[in-house]
Amino acid sequence: MNIIEVIKKQINHNNILLYMKGSPDAPSCGFSAQAVRALSDCGVRFAYVDVLANQDIRTELPKYAQWPTFPQLWVQGKLIGGCDIILEMWNNGELKKLLRGTGKLE
């Protein structure tokens, strides 16, 4: 399986997926930490991929997604965006509305 197939499989098998630097418990950049806080505040469980531990994904995902930066939030197979978009949606309540129907609430 090539790396694009791996990425597609990850996206298709996880309703809420965050490609980030580090892990939710130990983010390796401030942008990833902010994204995790926003998602956690919404009360949903989400999958994540540490792009620092997966160099091929870190290299190929921006090309596939046509989105150059991390973190990247994917919901039901669709790219939502990066940190700025996640925070904007969180601040205006759209993120919680979007995620309520997709993930298991804690």
Please tell me whether 31 is known to bind a ligand.
no
Count of all residues that appear for the chain in the document: 106
What single string gives the DSSP state of each residue in 78-103?
EEEE-HHHHHHHHHTTHHHHHHHTTS
The maximal CA–CA distance of the chain, rounded, in angstroms, is 40
Please tell me whether 21 is known to bind a ligand.
yes
Please tell me whether 42 is known to bind a ligand.
no
SS3 53: coil
Please tell me whether 104 is known to bind a ligand.
no
Please tell me whether 58 is known to bind a ligand.
yes
CA dihedral for 26, 96, 98, 87, sign (positive or negative): negative
Please tell me whether 56 is known to bind a ligand.
no
Could you list the residues known to form a binding site, using ranges: 21, 29, 58, 70, 83-84
Could you list the residues known to form a binding site for glutathione, using ranges: 21, 58, 70, 83-84
Could you list the residues known to form a binding site for [2Fe-2S] cluster, using ranges: 29
